[in-house]
Structure 1
Amino acid sequence: MKQFSRMALAASLLLAACATSETHQDTTTVNASLVVDTLAKARLDSTLQAQVTSGQVAGVSALVFEKGEEVYFNAFGMADREENVPMARNTLVQIFSMTKPITGVALMQLYEQGKFQLDDPVANYIPEFANLQVYAGNDAAGQPVLEAPHRPMLVRDLTRHTSGLTSGPDTAYVGALLKKVDPMNRENTLTQMAEKFAQAPLWFQPGAQWAYGPSVDVQALLVERLSGQPFDQYVQEHIFGPLGMDETRYFIPEADRDRFAALYLRNDSTGLTRVPDSLAHALNTRHWPLTPGGFGFTSTVDDYMRFARMLVNEGELDGTRILKPETVELMATNQLPDSVTERSWLPSKGRVGFGIDFAVRVSPPQTAEENNGVVGEFFWDGAASTLFWVDPANELTAVLFVQIMPFYGQLHKQFRDAVYGPYTPTATP
């Protein structure tokens, strides 16, 4: 992740013509080495506008930084269609699983302090998990077979989704038990959450497969146990405050709720249907005991960009260091061994492995249908179709905000193509 010369960029900016409107600041330069050049900006505008015009999304915004400078921002459509509130730079959205990388950074700060090692058993710090069993299918009579773990669940397993934990209610045998004890109920503390997860067996042997689930929520409890601080207080003091991320939080006060984007369900046949705010915004309009590490934060596009820029700058932003460079590199390095062949839907993200709370691109796309991207990029997204990525090779960070369910992966594909240009077999981004 080389540092870019700001003097060189300033010189190129002197040669550029800049125009500003309320929604779009054109920072075009004559630097031909930039990924986001004039053509890319035109692709981005047309791609995002088309999503709104076609009714696929109600509103969308995107922000891209390259080599330390903003190279693109625009917003289209409505944050709240029914109230006629435009999508804007200060719109607050639910980032859902884009909470996970924040939790990972919090945990790895404690790793730097020597509080734990990645191959430590989780039960060393969360003794509620000391006597876990593993579901191994049913016997001939249809009764569940439980067995001891072949090895302990490790902290590393939590960071790469190989823990064996699940929260899926439809998971064979385990799901019904978890539905009964309800570990992710908002009225639970993180400790109560762990106690309830421990009442059910693991879905699979630790380290055996990649399966998305509540592993990062358990990471939040690890942060509490290792730091001695409540998770929400820890991230505020050690990440949000130092980075100036003043609008990234669980709870949105009444005075800011007019900027809180509505959530929409997308259906190809019937269009967009608004989810009632009483359901969509329930987590963020009341203080709850549960402070999940895997979801729950709200943010603005600029706030989250500060987090992304810290990562592309090897753990530092504006003179404030959050992580050491070697820790960022560790997080952005694939941690999945080849022996983990069962990876659920992870391959749909492209040719990726998984690091510490990020997907990590390990190979360029081989077809035009695959997600565009650069080897070494690390990224994640959220259930309402938000997305960010960090591209160290080009010193580029991108944040895309929408509020659409179910997850709309085709939008991500189109956004990536707009940034990098269409795929060609003879060239990679």
Structure 2
Amino acid sequence: MSLRRWLLAAALAGLTAAHAAPLVVPARIDAALSAMVKRGELVGVTAVVYEGGSEAYFGAFGQADREADRAMARDALMQIHSMTKPLTGVALMQLYELGRFQLDDPVAKYLPEFANPRVWVGEGADGQPVTEPAARAITIRDLGRHTSGIASGLGMPPALERHNNAHYRGIAWTSDLSELVARTALAPLVAHPGRRWTYDLATNVQARLVEKLSGQRFEDYLRDHLFQPMGMASTRFHVAPDAADRARFAPSYARDANGRLQRIPDAQSRAYNDTDWQLKTGTTGLVSTLDDYMTFARMLLDGGVAPNGTRVLKAETVKLMATDALPAELTDRSWLPSKGNVGFGINVGVRVGPPRNSGEFSGAPGEFFWDGAANTLFWVDPKHGIAAVLFTQFYPPGDGKLNRAFRDAVYADDAEAFAGNKPKP
């Protein structure tokens, strides 16, 4: 489809969404989230949903800080972990729009340390890795869709994981992004580029490319080109202990063996954000608020224009990011299929069709989304003109019950959002 035809279709879709009967029923979402708090499944939770260009829902339940008896609020500061990644992707794609690179450029064109990648074959008798040359160069497109082969430690062969643990020893928060990425370039790939979906560390390479192509430190680029222009005043890596808004910084909790949520000591859970460390990564580390992240989500929903009118990306660039980029023949996708009937764009999962069975989350085809380790989540649904953000702070990550409850409450009146054999709530 030509760009002109796509823009026309998008405009018509927006009109359709604006004039269709609204999906969001606030009482239904209230009931779903408050019930989880009452059952002790959450300490606190807050969520906001935009539909058809206006706020259709906001709710806050339970406590942001149980021990201080501080109620959950929409301005609570929370660690967003992997929801840092979509922001990294937008930063990089701004530079793409400026012509600083092409998606199929080899990464080594800008970061020469990636010139001769090698792929893990196994472990030799001496305990050292046995490798072979990569079949092709790693491209910037590979970084965005997570097909670079860069090993992350998630689902990797145990021997490679042991090797990488030793290989990265010495990298600390006092290191910088340049040092981390140089070390990444020397580590064996777990697969040849383009042959496997491997999550996580490629986003650090994206962040380093932002530095190389812009001439700014990554965190400075985010501040100058995303956070300040869009008005995301609370989003940052560092929350100083003496900051006036420190009381808004929510603690984190973890489920114990009996299912009870226990507070993680602040010195442990906030160790990264308490100090202005040198290392700022593209994979994780940002702290944000519900409304700040909704500003970002609405920008994506509105074709790259932030709520304050600032154009952050072109509409066609947002479309590129939110389009499944995984080749059909790429079947080794690690745990991505656990997200449902999805592919992957640039740092976001992309729903390619309705749920195929009752085990998948409800949602609309064309939606793009991601979540964070402390069970924060967001999605953008162009079909219905919806952007949704949910914040909470507990582990372990990937709580399917919360994700399902929130989604089902939003989409209960949309039959297509559910598998055919799954009754609506």
TM-score normalized by structure 1? 0.89
Aligned pair 1:218/2:208, yes or no? no
- Separation (CA, whole Å) in 2 of partners of 1:52 and 1:427: 25
Aligned pair 1:401/2:388, yes or no? no
Query: Which deviates more, 95-104 or 262-271?
Result: 262-271
Q: How far is 1:194 from its partner? A: 1.4
Tell me which amino acid in the other structure corresponds to 2:400. Answer: G
Q: Secondary structure at the match of 1:135?
A: strand
How many residues are paired up?
A: 403
Q: Secondary structure at the match of 2:228?
A: helix
Aligned pair 1:287/2:256, yes or no? no
Q: Secondary structure at the match of 2:383?
A: helix
Aligned to 2:81: 96
Which of 415, 420, 425 is the matching residue for 2:406?
A: 415
Does the 8 A contact of 2:234 with 2:289 survive in 1?
yes
Change (3 A) 1:166 1:424: closer
Aligned to 2:181: 194
Tell me which amino acid in the other structure corresponds to 1:355. Answer: G
Does the 8 A contact of 1:174 with 1:200 survive in 2?
no
Match runs of 1:105-184 below 5 Å:
105-138=90-123, 144-168=129-153, 171-182=157-168
Q: Secondary structure at the match of 2:147?
A: coil
- Kindly provide the CA deviation profile for residues 68-97 of structure 1, in whole angstroms up to 9, marking residues without a partner as x: 100100100111111111110110000000
Which of 324, 336, 339 is the matching residue for 1:334?
A: 324
Q: How far is 1:248 from its partner? A: 0.6
Aligned to 1:26: none
Of all paired residues, the percent bearing the same amino acid is 51
Note the aligned Cα RMSD (angstroms).
2.2
Q: Secondary structure at the match of 1:152?
A: coil
Does the 8 A contact of 1:168 with 1:213 survive in 2?
no
Aligned to 2:302: 313
Q: Secondary structure at the match of 1:353?
A: strand
Which of 345, 348, 352 is the matching residue for 2:338?
A: 348
Change (3 A) 1:261 1:143: closer
- Separation (CA, whole Å) in 2 of partners of 1:425 and 1:168: 37
Q: How far is 1:127 from its partner? A: 1.2
Does the 8 A contact of 1:178 with 1:197 survive in 2?
no
Q: How far is 1:404 from its partner? A: 1.1
Which of 14, 19, 23 is the matching residue for 1:35?
A: 23
- Kindly provide the CA deviation profile for residues 360-393 of structure 1, in whole angstroms up to 9, marking residues without a partner as x: 0001012332111100000000000110000001
Aligned pair 1:234/2:221, yes or no? yes
Tell me which amino acid in the other structure corresponds to 2:282. Answer: G
Change (3 A) 1:142 1:278: closer
Which of 364, 367, 372 is the matching residue for 1:377?
A: 367
- Separation (CA, whole Å) in 1 of partners of 2:187 and 2:422: 49
Q: Secondary structure at the match of 1:371?
A: coil
Q: How far is 1:197 from its partner? A: 1.6
- Separation (CA, whole Å) in 1 of partners of 2:331 and 2:325: 13
- Separation (CA, whole Å) in 1 of partners of 2:267 and 2:258: 25
Q: Secondary structure at the match of 1:64?
A: strand
Which of 44, 58, 62 is the matching residue for 2:43?
A: 58
Change (3 A) 1:180 1:143: closer
Does the 8 A contact of 1:56 with 1:266 survive in 2?
no
Stretches of structure 1 that go unaligned for 5 or more consecutive residues are 10-30
Aligned to 2:4: none
Stretches of structure 2 that go unaligned for 5 or more consecutive residues are 1-9
